[in-house]
């Protein structure tokens, strides 16, 4: 009886000490935190947009008068090795190589790395380009899987194909670097189509910097809907698929209003794996490519880190005009896989180099770039998703006033659709890659709808990628190529 009385009294005390949770107040406080975070993102992106506007216009006005033809004859123009890793790229590989064979550049070699393809990629290359097996001596500076054979085209002597065991994209690029003969290399996707003057433009900052610039990236645009014949872009077009159209807008925003602003202050952490030029010396010294989902970003972060540790002044730049056209996913299924993979790659790069975060030793990279990519790019989708959930719960529970809901929608509209519209306008104002009025009108009107359907989808997918990254999921996931070139 005595023990029972003590137990009852202690239970009463516990119940008396419990503080009731006031859910309406928690929802309101949470909503305001989300609002403040979104306002911070809008201010950051707004600042980058202003930087991009001034920088792109300045570059564009200069480029109208740039003597690119002189670079073809200049003794200072750097020879470049073009590396194209290919795994099951049979559908688009022929058109991609044809586009590379037609570029205007004084001295270059093309190295296709067949990374253990299980389709007829190698057979197609051997048939189309009359490949003959050769003995080629190369210096193994970076680790890679075994090379099974080296082939050279009988009709294009500067075209070489490496046939190797499967090791992933990073491994293939390391093998290509080992085999390359020139001091600079360019990494390209196997389904890419390059404009004729693209290499002259993307290498121009490297040529003029006296080796101060160690990497330079160009723009990537969506090829779906374009007229591409035998690897040559005949005319620019747009797909009728809303999923593809939204990706066109998304790419414009990412490249024109994002990377330009970061590059102008040497804060760029991404040079797209679809089109980027690197100094081989610095990449080898930094350790080459590593096997991560986002190997392109990881390499750029490591290069920044390495040059800071070596206490040398080097730059990584982005040039908006040189364009590489690539195939985009045209279904929800494959787009979802791509976005989840991209977000996992972002997490891997940030986690692997977490030592750089807020570290003054690494200058503006540690104090601005790394925090920006973590708090804005990585955590942004999670915060935005929580905002959507809080908004829905609050409306149904009646715990939030209608003005709060309208404010959240307005911030979402600015963060999504308004910046997308600004990117479309910036494209029309400067690059003019989409020449028809119909193209501009279509993209502009589609950008108005982004907040209503496309952005919520990508937010959910990126949060899924975040969860997969935390639980250590590996691999790229299957992607189906349909090909963009009519061979």
What CATH number does residue 127 fall under? 3.90.550.10
Average pLDDT score, the chain? 85
pLDDT of residue 482: 59
* % of the chain surpassing 90 pLDDT: 47
70-97: pLDDT as tens digits = 666 666 778 999 999 999 988 888 888 9
Please indicate, yes or no, if residue 416 is contained in any of the structural domains: no
> 15: which residues sit within 8 A by CB, 6+ positions away?
none
pLDDT of residue 479: 58
How far apart CA 411 and CA 38 sit, in angstroms, is 7
379 contacts 459 by C-beta, under 8 angstroms: no
Per-residue pLDDT at 284 exceeds 50: yes
Q: Which residues of 255-287 are buried (b: 16+ CB within 10 A; e: fewer)?
A: bbbbbbbbbbebbbbbbbbbbbbbbbebbbebe
- Share in percent of the chain as helix, strand, coil (round to 5): 55, 15, 30
pLDDT of residue 13: 47
Please indicate, yes or no, if residue 6 is contained in any of the structural domains: no
**E strand or H helix that includes residue 460:** helix 454-470
How far apart CA 245 and CA 173 sit, in angstroms, is 31
How far apart CA 85 and CA 351 sit, in angstroms, is 26
Query: How far from each other are the two terminal CA atoms of the chain, in whole angstroms?
Result: 92
- Please identify which residue in the block is written with the tokens 């159209």: 245
How far apart CA 427 and CA 424 sit, in angstroms, is 5
**E strand or H helix that includes residue 28:** helix 23-63
Per-residue pLDDT at 242 exceeds 90: yes
Per-residue pLDDT at 64 exceeds 50: no
52 contacts 256 by C-beta, under 8 angstroms: yes
56 contacts 426 by C-beta, under 8 angstroms: yes
pLDDT of residue 476: 58
Whole-prediction pTM = 0.88
CA angle 354, 360, 364 (to 5 degrees): 85
How far apart CA 231 and CA 486 sit, in angstroms, is 8
**345 is written with which tokens?**
């790659």
107 contacts 184 by C-beta, under 8 angstroms: no
Per-residue pLDDT at 162 exceeds 80: yes
More confident residue, 220 or 405: 220
Q: Which domain holds residue 365?
A: 49-377
pLDDT of residue 1: 46
Please indicate, yes or no, if residue 286 is contained in any of the structural domains: yes
Please indicate, yes or no, if residue 12 is contained in any of the structural domains: no
Q: Of 79-83, 261-265, 367-371, which range is least confident?
A: 261-265
What pLDDT band is residue 44 in, cutting at 50, 70 and 90?
confident
Please indicate, yes or no, if residue 419 is contained in any of the structural domains: no
> 245: which residues sit within 8 A by CB, 6+ positions away?
238, 239, 442, 443, 446
| Overall average pLDDT of the 177-204 stretch | 89
What pLDDT band is residue 177 in, cutting at 50, 70 and 90?
very high
- Strands of the 275-279 sheet, one edge to the other: 131-134, 147-153, 159-164, 108-115, 80-86, 184-188, 275-279, 213-222, 315-326, 193-194
Nearest to 343 by CA among 179, 207, 462, 216: 462
pLDDT of residue 7: 40
Please indicate, yes or no, if residue 42 is contained in any of the structural domains: no
pLDDT of residue 2: 44
> 178: which residues sit within 8 A by CB, 6+ positions away?
138, 139, 140, 141, 142, 144
Q: Which stretches of 358-401 are DSSP H helices?
A: 363-364, 370-371, 380-397
pLDDT of residue 71: 63
pLDDT of residue 191: 77
- The structural domain count of the chain equals 1
pLDDT of residue 399: 61
More confident residue, 335 or 63: 335
390-435: pLDDT as tens digits = 777 777 776 666 666 667 777 777 777 888 888 888 787 777 788 7
113 contacts 172 by C-beta, under 8 angstroms: yes
What pLDDT band is residue 14 in, cutting at 50, 70 and 90?
very low
Please indicate, yes or no, if residue 324 is contained in any of the structural domains: yes
User: What is the full DSSP assignment across 104-117?
Assistant: --SSEEEEEEEES-
How far apart CA 400 and CA 420 sit, in angstroms, is 29
Please indicate, yes or no, if residue 305 is contained in any of the structural domains: yes
105-138: pLDDT as tens digits = 989 999 999 999 999 999 999 999 999 999 988 8
Q: Which stretches of 74-187 are DSSP H helices?
A: 93-101, 121-129, 169-179
Q: Which of 42-46, 147-151, 254-258, 259-263 has the highest mean pLDDT?
A: 147-151
CA-atom Rg of the chain in angstroms: 25
Per-residue pLDDT at 335 exceeds 90: yes
More confident residue, 6 or 362: 362
| Overall average pLDDT of the 249-259 stretch | 86
289-329: pLDDT as tens digits = 998 888 999 999 999 999 999 999 999 999 887 789 998 99
């Amino acid at each position: 009886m005595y023990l029972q009385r003590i137990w009852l009294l202690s239970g009463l005390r516990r119940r008396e000490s419990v503080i009731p949770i006031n859910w309406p107040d928690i929802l309101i406080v949470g909503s305001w935190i989300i609002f403040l975070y979104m306002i911070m993102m809008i201010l950051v992106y707004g600042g980058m947009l202003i930087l991009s506007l001034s920088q792109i216009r300045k570059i564009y006005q200069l480029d109208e008068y740039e003597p690119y033809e002189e670079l073809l004859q200049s003794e200072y123009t750097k020879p470049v090795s073009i590396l194209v890793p290919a795994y099951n790229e049979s559908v688009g590989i022929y058109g991609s190589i044809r586009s590379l064979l037609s570029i205007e550049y004084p001295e270059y070699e093309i190295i296709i790395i067949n990374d253990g393809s299980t389709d007829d990629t190698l057979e197609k290359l051997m048939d189309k380009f009359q490949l003959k097996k050769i003995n080629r001596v190369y210096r193994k500076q970076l680790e890679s899987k075994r090379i099974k054979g080296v082939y050279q085209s009988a009709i294009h002597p500067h075209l070489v194909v490496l046939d190797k065991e499967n090791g992933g994209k990073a491994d293939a690029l390391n093998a290509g670097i080992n085999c390359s003969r020139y001091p600079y290399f360019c990494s390209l996707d196997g389904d890419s189509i390059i404009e004729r003057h693209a290499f002259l433009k993307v290498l121009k900052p490297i040529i003029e910097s006296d080796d101060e610039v160690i990497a330079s990236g160009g723009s990537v645009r969506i090829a779906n809907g374009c007229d591409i014949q035998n690897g040559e872009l005949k005319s620019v077009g747009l797909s009728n698929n809303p999923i593809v159209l939204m990706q066109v807008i998304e790419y414009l925003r990412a490249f024109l209003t994002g990377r330009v602003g970061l590059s102008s202050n040497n804060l760029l952490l991404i040079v797209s794996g679809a089109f980027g030029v690197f100094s081989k010396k610095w990449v080898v010294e930094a350790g080459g490519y590593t096997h991560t989902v986002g190997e392109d970003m990881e390499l750029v972060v490591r290069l920044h880190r390495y040059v800071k540790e070596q206490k040398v002044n080097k730059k990584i730049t982005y040039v908006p005009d040189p364009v590489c056209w690539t195939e985009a996913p045209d279904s929800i299924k494959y787009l979802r896989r791509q976005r989840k993979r991209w977000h996992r790659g972002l997490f891997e790069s940030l986690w692997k180099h977490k030592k750089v975060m807020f570290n003054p030793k690494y200058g503006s990279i540690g104090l601005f770039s790394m925090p920006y990519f973590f708090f804005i790019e990585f955590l942004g989708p999670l915060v935005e998703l929580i905002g959507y959930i809080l908004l829905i719960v609050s409306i149904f529970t009646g715990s939030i006033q209608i003005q709060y809901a309208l404010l959240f929608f307005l911030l979402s509209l600015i963060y999504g659709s308004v910046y997308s519209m600004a990117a479309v306008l910036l494209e029309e104002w400067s690059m003019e890659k989409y020449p028809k009025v119909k193209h501009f009108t279509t993209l502009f009107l589609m950008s108005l709808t982004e907040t209503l359907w496309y952005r919520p989808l990508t937010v959910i997918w990126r949060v899924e990628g975040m969860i997969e990254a935390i639980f250590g999921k590996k691999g790229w996931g299957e992607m189906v190529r349909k090909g963009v070139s009519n061979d």
